[in-house]
Amino acid sequence: MEKKRGFEIAKGFENSGINLPVRKTKYSAGYDIEAAEDCTIPPYVAGSKPTLVKTGLKAYMEDDEMLLLYNRSSNPGKKGLVLANGVGVVDKDYYGNPDNDGAVMFAFFNMKPEAVEIKKGDAIGQAIFQKYLITDDDIATGERVGGFGSTSK
Distance CA 123, CA 103 (A): 17
Name the domain count of the chain.
1
Mean pLDDT, rounded, of the chain: 93
Residue 148 lies in a domain: no
Each residue's pLDDT tens digit, 23-59: 999 999 999 999 999 999 999 999 999 999 999 999 9
The 10 Å Cβ neighbour count of residue 77 is 8
Q: Whole domain around residue 87: which residue ranges? A: 6-131
CB 127 within 8 A of CB 69: yes
Closest CA to 59 of 113, 26, 97, 23: 97
Instruction: Output the domain CATH number for residue 50.
Output: 2.70.40.10
CB 88 within 8 A of CB 107: yes
Residue 92 lies in a domain: yes
Q: Which pLDDT band, with edges at 50, 70 and 90, does 153 fall under?
A: low
